Structure formats: structure tokens, C-alpha cells
């Protein structure tokens, strides 16, 4: 009888311990998901990013056709009138609503005429800018940049050399998220 009572008490203690650990893990996972943007694109209208460089950027299109790079709508591949673009030596700066832990950035470039682009991408947590991409892209429409897990407050895309057709970097869409 005493043996079964001891077993029952030990079982109750271990069950309580497991439940506490489970709640801690659940809370920890919720916090991680929040800081990682719930594993969704944090550069979209829904996530409320700011284009802090908008005064030095140029936008092709009018009204609903305006080419702002974090629109949620699907773009027409044949459209030459959409996109956000920057001149040589200028930057597109995308400031996020909060600091997120991210590791993937996708940039959709205008590449209808098979263009080569020369640009640098920085990620910053507001204290230090880190280069996550420094290359010339040859004939690629979607550049997927994978970088180490880091806290990001803003991205800066610097137009170093334009493209093979013009001195601009034409960007149709940008997405950033934490990929497991």
C-alpha cells in the first residue's frame, strides 16, 4: 500500500514537472515565432514596413499599377511599367515594423531583357550594417539570399553598378522571412 502511494506521489510530481516544462516550451515557441515574424513575409503591406528611402527612389506605374516593392498583388511578368528603381549610388531602404530574427531575403528583379545587375544588400539591427549580398547577378530574375540567423531592423539595397541596359536597379518585389 505504501509502495503504491509513493509511486502515485512520484507520478503526480513528474506530471506537474512535465506540464510546467511544456508550458515553458510553448511560451518559448510563441516568443520565437513572434520575433521571427510567425515565419511569414515581413515585407508586405500586411506587415507595415516603411520605405524610408522613398524620396530618392522612383516608382513606375500609376494608381493600382504603382510599382511599390512590397505589394501583395501578383505582378505581370510582361509589364515593363512596374517596379521601384534607384539610380547609381542610391539605396532602397526598407525599415521593418519591429526587429525580427531573419535568415532569408528574396529580391525579384526586372529582367525582361536578360539583364545583369550589380548591387549590394545590407541587413542591420540599427547598430551595425552587415553585408549579406555583394555580387553581380547574371540573368537571374529572383535572387534568394540566405544569411545567418540575425536580428534585422532594416534592409538596404545599394545600386553599385546598375544593370546591363541602364544605370538603374529595378526591383519588382522584396520578401524577407525566417526559413526553418
Residue-by-residue pLDDT tens, the chain, 180 positions: 667 766 766 665 665 655 666 566 777 888 888 888 889 999 887 777 777 777 677 777 665 556 677 676 655 555 555 678 899 999 999 999 999 999 999 998 876 778 889 999 999 998 999 999 998 888 778 899 999 999 999 999 999 999 888 899 888 889 999 998
Same structural domain, 89 and 43: yes
Cα 172 to Cα 180: distance, rounded to the nearest angstrom:
25
Output the pTM of the full model: 0.80
Same structural domain, 150 and 66: yes
Same structural domain, 111 and 89: yes
The fraction of the chain above a pLDDT of 70, given in percent, is: 73
Total domain count, the chain: 2
Same structural domain, 18 and 55: no
Same structural domain, 22 and 65: no
Same structural domain, 85 and 14: no
Cα 24 to Cα 12: distance, rounded to the nearest angstrom:
18
Joined together, the cell numbers standing for residue 85 give 528603381
Same structural domain, 55 and 96: yes
Q: b or e along 62-74 (b: 16 or more beta carbons within 10 Å of the residue's beta carbon)?
A: eeeeebebbbeee
**How confident is the model at residue 1, as a pLDDT?**
67
User: pLDDT, tens digit, for every residue of 62-104?
Assistant: 655 566 776 766 555 555 556 788 999 999 999 999 999 999 9
CATH code at position 51: 2.60.120.260
Same structural domain, 6 and 60: no
Residues pairing with 94 in the sheet: 51, 155
- Identify the residue whose cell numbers are 553581380: 136
Same structural domain, 103 and 76: yes
Domain of residue 5: give its range: 1-35
Same structural domain, 22 and 60: no
**How confident is the model at residue 51, as a pLDDT?**
78
Amino acid at each position: 500500500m505504501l509502495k503504491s502511494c509513493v509511486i502515485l506521489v512520484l507520478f503526480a510530481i513528474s506530471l506537474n514537472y512535465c506540464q510546467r516544462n511544456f508550458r515553458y516550451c510553448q511560451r518559448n515557441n510563441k516568443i520565437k515565432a513572434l520575433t521571427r515574424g510567425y515565419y511569414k513575409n515581413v515585407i508586405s503591406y500586411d506587415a507595415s514596413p516603411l520605405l524610408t528611402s522613398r524620396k530618392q527612389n522612383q516608382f513606375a506605374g500609376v494608381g493600382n499599377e504603382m510599382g511599390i516593392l512590397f505589394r501583395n498583388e501578383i505582378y505581370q511578368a510582361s509589364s515593363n511599367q512596374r517596379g521601384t528603381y534607384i539610380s547609381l549610388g542610391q539605396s532602397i531602404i526598407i525599415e521593418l515594423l519591429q526587429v525580427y530574427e531573419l535568415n532569408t531575403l528574396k529580391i525579384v528583379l526586372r529582367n525582361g531583357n536578360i539583364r545583369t545587375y550589380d548591387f549590394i544588400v545590407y541587413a542591420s539591427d540599427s547598430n551595425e550594417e552587415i553585408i549579406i549580398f555583394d555580387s553581380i547577378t547574371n540573368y537571374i530574375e529572383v535572387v534568394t539570399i540566405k544569411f545567418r540567423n540575425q536580428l534585422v531592423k532594416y534592409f538596404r539595397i545599394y545600386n553599385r553598378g546598375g544593370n546591363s541596359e541602364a544605370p538603374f536597379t529595378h526591383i519588382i518585389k522584396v520578401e524577407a522571412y525566417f526559413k526553418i
